[in-house]
Amino acid sequence: MGSHKEVSRRQFLSAAAGSTAASLLARPAFSLAHETFSNAGTLDVGSNAAAMLPWQDQGVINTANSPYAKLHSVPVHAVTIDEGFWSKRRATNVERSIPTMRQELEEHGRMDNFRRLVGKSSEAQKGPYFSDSDIYKWIDSVGWALQSDSLPELRRKTDSMIREVVAIQEPSGYLNTYYQGDRVALRMSQHDQEVGHEMYCLGHMIQGSIAYYRATGDTTLMDAGQRMIDNFVLPNYGPGPNQKPIISGHPEIEMALIELYRTTGKRQYVELAGYVLHGDDRWTIDPQHIKYMFCGIPFPSRTKLEGHAVRAMYACSGATDYYLETGDPAYWKTLNVLWEDLTRRQMYITGGVGARSEGEAFGNAYELPNAQAYGESCAAIGNMMWNWRMLAASGESKFADVIERALYNGINSGMSLDGTTYCYRNPLAFDPATLDGFRGSPNIRNAWYDVTCCPPNLERTFSSLPSYFYSTSKDGLYVHLYDNSNLDWHLQDGTPIKVQQKTNYPWEGSVKLTVNVSEPKEFTLYARIPGWANGASVMVNGKSEAGIKSGEYLPMKRTWKPGDVVVLNFPMHAEIVASNPRVAEDRGKVAVRRGPVIFCMEEVDQSSGIALSDVAITVSERLGKEFQNEYKPDLLGGVEVLRHEGKVFESASAEQPLYMATGAEAPRTRPGTLSFIPYYAWANRKPSAMQVWTPFVRS
Ligand SMILES: [Zn+2]
């Protein structure tokens, strides 16, 4: 189980000090002795305050001062998303999802958990031990939403919730409804650190507070988070002789600590994150837990993804954040090894991750079952968050391709089109007759889960989405995502820049970018050519660009003038996709992709009497060129529908014997037309069978 016994604490500290000295030069020495920490409780901007961006200009992650970040985020408010693909989802998120989720949280006692501790509620503690995090993730979603719209009523309600949260903070700085009151004795024990999510809840409090701060400038919740770290965690927990170990039972605190550093400038938060990512061998942890929790051994000793999928994705996100601040080459090497494992052996075609329900976990290499797939919404979101950080570190398009894949498919599927019910699992095949929606529920989408991590996670993803469209670099501007939108921001040297996008993406492949600078300015505009867009073309002011490669950013270095126009053309046609033959479940089957959108079949769309389990798609050497597509504005919020010839097995397969000699007469089939809808839109009508992977026959 890795090398967690092989590196002693002393070796770690001296190695860490050495690598820090080498890679950070003028930065403060790596030290975790608690005397070096400041115990200031309020927002105390540290030594790089002079260079700190104003709060309202900080993006979804603030890499402006990260020495190993090639790309810097733009704030949510810098990008306005206009009428188009994402506008409906985002409007629904703010008008329906966020308000109804608040009601659900209230009705299920999540706020009473706080009120109980100050005598304002007589209700018993409700929900699992990590329930506080659901409140924080919801506040996170409100924070980003407030950057796009002024929502005074929502702001007022959230301010009031934040006051109720911070009211329970103990003088020690401790704040967690599950471990206050009658469970104080269990607090931060080894067992409870492994399973009790105290650091996880603190991480979400910090992330939510930062989103809220970046929208409002209000530090109330962030101050509380800092007080818990400065006054409770740092003096008592860490590698020092008088400190107890920290186990990141569910990784999350790592990326929160680094974002807190990026917001306050207090370097000790990076050092604490580094300590947590390294693990602490003073406590012996069951090797199975080390695997499941994706923590407890030095992160760079990991060689593959395993264990609980969300934990692994959050650990990788935090480790990438740590790399962005420290440049530790061992981290970068491991992150790339794990990313190859993800994309070559572990990721669903939808960008979802987590093959097994048992442990909500990664399976073995190429173990990617469809109906049994776990594919938790949070894991696809974790995948996007990790790849966003890898993209910031490298500027490489392959990471943005994964973001797009997860966003349009495995994440977008997680929320119903009306924004009020959610998938916890996102399987790639489903039969309502098996009553296998979620832990015995027949419904794949539900308004509430007692483990309600996914709904507010989806909400914060959609409300922060504008921040993922662009990044700035030293030499210019990167365009990652395409939809009708307006960027109003500036290059890193302060030159104001506006970019308007006009498109029907993802239904059509043409994107018109109008670049507006106040006066001619030389810089490089990097436009992402998606990995799927073979044969893409690009014109600047009517002249074709050369050197276009799918799966890379096209750098266009020139003196840009006001009103310059870039037209990107991505070939947008349906394609038939096969999997690596080692994916046993997909052998003999194909999936359908059109641009970034993965399609599926729902039985409700097929001619009557056709069961999905009795169809095959007819594949000719024209490989998908026979698809007919039609945009249906009134179907499922407006979707492209694909049709293709297929075959239907004449005798219902259920009537055939289980096994037949292969030399026997080929099963009789009749021709039939198969209909496909985007995967993200499935399960929004009456319960119906669904599948992404369909057997094929050669014509
Ligand atoms: Zn979840």
pLDDT tens, 227-262? 999 999 999 999 999 999 999 999 999 999 999 999
Residue 291, φ and ψ in degrees, nearest 5: -70, -50
**What is the pLDDT at residue 440?**
67
- Contact, 532 vs 596, CB < 8 A? yes
Write out pLDDT tens, residues 392-428.
999 999 999 999 999 999 999 999 999 999 999 999 9
State pLDDT tens for residues 160-214. Answer: 999 999 999 999 999 999 999 989 999 999 999 999 999 999 999 999 999 999 9
Yes or no: say if 618 and 646 are a contact pair by the CB < 8 Å rule. yes
pLDDT at 651: 67
Amino acid at the residue 29: A
In this structure, which amino acid lies at residue 331?
Answer: Y
With 70 as the cut, is the pLDDT of residue 557 above it? yes
Report how far residue 412's alpha carbon sits from residue 414's, in angstroms, rounded to the nearest whole number.
5
Residue 138's pLDDT is 98
The stretch 30-34 carries a mean pLDDT of 36
Q: What is the mean pLDDT of the chain?
A: 91
Segment 568-590 shows an average pLDDT of 96
Res 623: pLDDT? 65
Q: What's the rounded Cα separation, in Å, for the pair 549 and 269?
A: 40
Contact between 208 and 143 (Cβ < 8 Å): yes
Could you tell me which of 9, 34, 24 has the C-alpha nearest to residue 298?
9
The pLDDT > 90 percentage for the chain reads 85
Average pLDDT over residues 443-464: 95
* Centroid of ligand 1 to alpha carbon of 487 (angstroms): 31
CA of 457 relative to ligand 1 center, distance in Å: 7
Report the greatest alpha carbon distance in the chain.
81
Cα–ligand 1 centroid distance for 454 (angstroms)? 3
| Band (22; pLDDT cuts 50, 70, 90) | very low
Which are the contacts of 221, defined by CB distance < 8 A and separation ≥ 6? 139, 162, 165, 166, 205, 208, 209, 212, 213
* Residue 651 burial (CB count, 10 A): 11
CA of 542 to the centre of ligand 1 (A): 46
- pLDDT band, very low/low/confident/very high, at 435 (cuts 50, 70, 90): low
Q: Where are the alpha helices (DSSP H) in 425-579?
A: 454-464
Q: Is the pLDDT of residue 451 over 50?
A: yes
How far does residue 381's CA lie from ligand 1's centre (Å)? 9
Token output for 140: 């996170």
Nearby residues for ligand 1 (ion, Cβ within 5 Å): 376, 378, 453-454
d(CA 437, ligand 1 centre) in Å: 14
9 alpha carbon to ligand 1 midpoint, in Å? 34
CB atoms near residue 379 (< 10 Å): 31
Q: What is the pLDDT of residue 658?
A: 82
On the question of pLDDT at 27 being above 70, the answer is: no
- Ligand 1 centroid to residue 456 C-alpha, Å: 9
State yes or no: pLDDT of 14 exceeds 60: no
| Cα–Cα distance, 318 to 680 (Å, whole number) | 28
Spacing, Cα 425 to ligand 1 middle (Å)? 8
Written as six digits, the tokens of 625 are 């060129």
| The model's pTM | 0.92
